[in-house]
Amino acid sequence: MTLPVDTVPLAAPGTLPGPLDDAGRAGLLATVRAAVARARELHRPVLASWAAPLGACDPVAVWSRARRGTPRSFLWQSAWDDGLVVALGTAQDLRGRGERRMASVRAAWARTAAGTVTGGTAVAGLPSGEGPLAVGGFAFSPDLGHEQRRLPDALLWVPALQIRAAGRGGPAELRLNATLLHDSDPDQVADALGHLAERSLRGVPADGLVPVLPQPRAGTRSRVELPGAEEWKDLVRRATGHIREGGFEKLVLARELRVTATAPFDIPGAVGRLRESNPGTTVFAFDHEEHTFLGATPEYLVRVEDGTVHALGLAGTAPRGATPEEDLALERDLVGSAKIQHEHDVVVRMLRDAVGRACAEVDVETPPSVVKLTNVQHLSTKVRGHLADGADAGILDLVELLHPTPALGGHPRRAALDWLAGHEGLDRSWYAGAVGWADARGQGQFGVAIRSALVEGATASLYAGCGLVADSDPEAEYAETVAKLRPMSNALGIE
C-alpha cells in the first residue's frame, strides 16, 4: 500500500467528513481487519475495499485540489455515460512490460479482484463500474529501447482513494482501498486511509461546486516539431509509396510538437479548458510522478457494460467550416470522398472481425455518421457485440484484442507497426495508446489516447497523427495534424 503521508495531524474521531464519522471509521477498521485475517489465511496479500455514499460533489474539484498531495492521480470524465472517476494515491500497482504487457496486467488484476474483501455501503446505479477499479493505461507500443521513456509500458493501479459519480453534483461514492499483508497493522492502515480522505475532502461544501481558479498562462519560450514539417511530409510520401507498392493498406503516421514555456503549465486550468471547449469528448488526466498525461478524446477503443461490447471506428477527417453552409459542404465532401471511405472501412472491418472473435453476435452501424468536434469532423461507425452467456472475456481482454486498431497504427497491423518502428522516429509514449478503467466484473471503458499531451513542468509534448492511404496528400495531411493539435494547444495556453 502506498499512501501519501505528511505532517498534518489526523483529525480526531467524529470530525472527518460525513462518510468517515465514528460509524464510518469503525466500519473501515472492521474491513481492514477482515482483510488482514484473509491474508493470514491465504498467505498472500489481500485488497481491502470500503465504500460509503459521498453526497453531491464535483469530483473534478476534489482532484484539482488534492492531486499535488500524491505522486499518482487519475481523472476521467466520460462523454459516453457522463460518469466521473477520480483516483488518488495507490493501493496496488499492476504493471506489464514488452509484448505481453496487457496480458500481465490482466492476470494481476484478476488475482487481486478475486480475493478482495469489501465493506461499507456501496452506491447503486452509478454509471462507472462497480467496486474498486483498476485505472490507468497502456503505451502505444512496448518499450523499443527508449532509455528515457517517460511513462511505463503498461500501468493500471488500484487507487487508495476512489470517487465515482454520476456527473457534477450527482450522487457519488467514496471508496478507500488498501493492500494488506499478514502482519499489517489494521489500526495504522485505517488511520492512514482516514487521513487521506480527510485531507482530500476537506473544505468541499455540500453542493460540491468548488471553483478551480486557473493560474496565469505561461508564455512560450520555444517550440520544436519532431520531425520537422518538411521531413514529416517526406515521410508521408515514402509511406504512401510503400502502400502503392503493396507493403500495407493503411498507415497512421504521427508527429510531436514539443513546447517549452516560461513557467510550469497549469494542469487543472488546462483540464478546465478542455472540459469547456470540447463537448462530446472524454477528458482524462493521469499524474505519474513528475509527468502528467492529459487529453480530450472523441474516440473509445472499447467499452463493456452488462455483457455488451461497444467499439468505435473513428477515421476520416475534415475541417469545420466558418459558416453553417461551409460546414455542411465540408461534411458532404467527407461523406462523399472515396479515399476517406476506404480509410474508414479498413478500421471498421478490423473492429467487426475482432469483436466477432469475442462475441456471439455483432452489429455494425450503417451508414457511418459524422461526429462534429470543435476543430474537425470525423466519419464514425459504432460496432456492438454481445458476449455469450458465461463468456470469460472482459474489458482487458478486449483492449488486448483491439489495440492498436487501424485508426491508430495501420493495416495489416504487423506490417504497419514494423514500418513505424523503423521510420517514424519518435516515441509516442501513451499517445494513441489506451487510457481508462476496469472493474472486477470485467466491465470498463478505455478511450483512444488522442488529442493528448505529455507534460513535465514547463515542457509539453503534443501529438497528432493522420491515417494514410495510397493517394493521401502530404500538404493536406500536415494541415490535418495542425487542426488536431489545436484543442490541446488552446487548453495549455500555447500561442
User: Which residues are the active-site residues?
Assistant: 250, 299
Closest residue by Cα to residue 157 from 249, 36, 64, 289:
289
Alpha carbon 370 to chain centroid, angstroms:
23
Q: Give the whole-angstrom CA distance, residue 14 versus residue 287.
A: 32
Expressed in percent and rounded to 5, the helix, strand and coil fractions of the chain are: 35, 30, 35
454/452 Cα distance (integer angstroms):
7
> Residue 230 belongs to what H/E stretch?
helix 229-244
Residues 6+ apart with CB under 8 A from 476: none
- Locate 475 and state its grid cell: 500538404
Termini Cα distance of the chain: 42
* Residue 94, number of CB atoms within 10 A of its CB: 23
Please list, in sequence order, all residues whose beta carbon lies within 8 angstroms of the beta carbon of residue 434, skipping any fewer than 6 positions away. Answer: 137, 138, 301, 399, 403, 446, 447, 448, 449
* Helix or strand run (H / E) with residue 221: strand 220-226
Cell digits of residue 210: 468548488
Q: Name the residue among 157, 154, 232 with its Cα closest to residue 403.
A: 154
Distance of alpha carbon 172 from alpha carbon 166, whole angstroms: 7
Which value, in Å, is the radius of gyration of the alpha carbons in the chain? 23
414, 248 Cβ separation under 8 angstroms: no
d(Cα 96, Cα 108) in Å, to the nearest integer?
A: 9
Backbone angles phi, psi at 99, to 5 degrees: -65, -25
Buried b (16+ CB within 10 A) or exposed e, 352-391: bebbeebbeebebeeebeebbbbbbbbbbbbbbbbbeeee
What residues have CB less than 8 Å from 372, skipping those under 6 apart? 280, 320, 327, 331
